[in-house]
């Protein structure tokens, strides 16, 4: 019985390791972001996201609306807490170089947004995308979660003042 188990365990280990390796490969813009959903969120910012807001959930600290407009990892909501209503998504920024996750994510986001958008690093782990003389602002941030995984947030804000880092967030 022991002889039969060992090859199976070895095969399972190889399959597990190869699965982990394939998750860390570089992604294209279309694989990282749903560009159509992102453009819908950007357009919706002009109306305070009213046309993409779903069910409202209220707590003592926040108001959050569910949305079917999912631009990043199907983990997007419209929220209002310390800032006015804004579109916010969370998810992993998979890349072979964890330190370059923001750069790789920013390049993919730039492809999604198009040539009229310009990016600026506004903090070490934060890129803001703007169009000259036009609102809204798109922000991509990178951070390590409690498990050491490189994660990202994608935000669409109605204007530059709302998108600016708050004291203590830099």
pLDDT < 50: residue spans in the chain = 1-25
pLDDT for residue 20: 37
pLDDT for residue 59: 93
**Omega before 100 cis (within 30°)?**
no
pLDDT for residue 98: 64
- Token pair recorded at residue 51: 């046309």
Please list, in sequence order, all residues whose beta carbon lies within 8 angstroms of the beta carbon of residue 130, skipping any fewer than 6 positions away: 117, 118, 120, 137, 138, 160
pLDDT for residue 149: 86
pLDDT for residue 170: 52
Q: If we measure between CA atoms, which residue out of 127, 124, 123, 98 comes closest to residue 112?
A: 127
pLDDT for residue 23: 42
pLDDT for residue 6: 40
2 half-sphere exposure, CB direction, 13 A CA radius: 0
pLDDT for residue 41: 97
Q: What residue has token string 């569910």? A: 66
pLDDT for residue 19: 39
Ranges of each domain in the chain: 26-163
């Amino acid at each position: 019985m022991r002889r039969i188990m060992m090859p199976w365990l070895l095969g399972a280990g190889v399959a597990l390791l190869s699965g982990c390796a394939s998750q860390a490969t570089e992604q294209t813009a279309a694989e990282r972001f749903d560009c159509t959903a992102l453009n819908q969120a950007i357009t919706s910012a002009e109306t305070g996201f009213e046309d993409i807001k779903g069910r409202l959930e209220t707590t003592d600290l926040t108001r959050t609306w569910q949305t079917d407009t999912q631009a990043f990892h199907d983990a997007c909501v419209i929220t209002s807490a310390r800032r006015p209503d804004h579109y916010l998504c969370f998810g992993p920024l998979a890349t072979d170089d964890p330190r370059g996750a923001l750069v790789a994510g920013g390049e993919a986001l730039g492809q999604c947004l198009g040539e009229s958008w310009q990016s600026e690093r506004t903090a070490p782990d934060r890129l803001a995308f703007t169009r000259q003389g036009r609102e809204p602002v798109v922000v991509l941030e990178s951070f390590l979660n409690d498990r050491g995984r490189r994660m990202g947030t994608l935000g669409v804000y109605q204007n530059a003042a709302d998108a600016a880092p708050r004291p203590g967030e830099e």
